[in-house]
Amino acid sequence: MSEQKVAVVTGASSGNGRAIALRLATDGLIVVCSDLQPNARPGGYDEEPDVPTHELIETRGGAATFVVANATSMGEMSEVVEAAVSQYGHLDVMVNNAGIFTGLATIVDESEEDFDKTIAVNLKGVWIGSKLAITQFLQQEVNGNSRGTVVNIASIGGLVGLAQEPGYCASKGGVVNLTRQLAVDFADKKIHVNAVCPGFLETALVRPFLDDPDLNAGLHAQSPWPNLGTASDVAKAVSFLAGDESAWVTGSNLVVDGGFTAR
């Protein structure tokens, strides 16, 4: 049984998930990295993209492991949680980060297949990760002021309508309110459930926007803050929600967007 806190991060190989895993390891947590593949997606902005996240953590003196899993599969995600518990004795933090964006289209042109895929990964994946983590937390004692913490990576697309993103916004709106709902059900058990709602930032997922001069200019024009964010901005917010300083924070959707949704 490890004394260190143990976190699972889904979609940990690239972008936000990778930055979150690296940050939690720096915070002293053991990180079980999970993704479809260990390597970062091509076209991202990750440091040392050829080195899988768990190896990078180990190189920097942290503790991590990798378990391949599709976040949409209850069976595969059960194995991820089981790996954390069997190797380290407990699970303390579940970061449901894995997500996809299938491209800009209004509902007229969005395919049913893309809508189903988006809901499956972005919303059902969060439901599965939360269900498995909370089931495990309920078998554990309260440690400090928490029996366990879920941090969901939603989006500003869960708070406002983003042009031509119907499936994505629907999925993230679901995550935002699932987060509140779970917080209500499990507050009395001292289980924290929060979400981070990032704005547009530099990852492979947003590369198509950033590489298009018009879309890029539009994003900058809509952002009150002079620069777009980075994955490490999201990771810092997750670090706060996963740590002891947020002991009385549950059911919140922490907006990290440079003021994008402030007006």
Ligand X SMILES: NC(=O)c1ccc[n+]([C@@H]2O[C@H](COP(=O)([O-])OP(=O)(O)OC[C@H]3O[C@@H](n4cnc5c(N)ncnc54)[C@H](O)[C@@H]3O)[C@@H](O)[C@H]2O)c1
Q: Which residues are catalytic?
A: 168
Q: Which is nearer to ligand X, 122 or 146 (CB)?
A: 122
- Does residue 17 interact with ligand X by CB under 6 A? yes
Nearest distance from C-beta of residue 34 to ligand X, angstroms: 7
- Does residue 35 interact with ligand X by CB under 6 A? yes
Nearest distance from C-beta of residue 28 to ligand X, angstroms: 23
The site for ligand X, by CB under 6 A, has a size of 28
- Does residue 239 interact with ligand X by CB under 6 A? no
- Does residue 77 interact with ligand X by CB under 6 A? no
Q: Which of residues 97-126 bind ligand X (CB under 6 A)?
A: 97-100, 121
Q: Which is nearer to ligand X, 114 or 190 (CB)?
A: 114
Q: Which of 11, 49, 148, 258 binds ligand X (CB under 6 A)?
A: 11
Q: Which is nearer to ligand X, 69 or 146 (CB)?
A: 69
Stretch in the footprint of ligand X (CB under 6 A) among 8-16, 102-110, 141-149, 247-255: 8-16
DSSP string, the chain: --SS-EEEEETTTSHHHHHHHHHHHHTT-EEEEEESSSSPPTT---SSTTS-HHHHHHHTT--EEEEE--TT-HHHHHHHHHHHHHHHS---EEEE----------TTTS-HHHHHHHIIIIIIHHHHHHHHHHHHHTTS--BTTBSEEEEEE--GGGTSPPTT-HHHHHHHHHHHHHHHHHHHHHGGGTEEEEEEEE-SEESGGGHHHHHSHHHHHHHHHH-SSSS-EEHHHHHHHHHHHHSGGGTT--S-EEEESTTGGG-
Which residues are near ligand X by CB under 6 A? 10-11, 13-17, 35-36, 41, 44, 70-72, 97-100, 121, 153, 155, 198, 200-201, 203-206
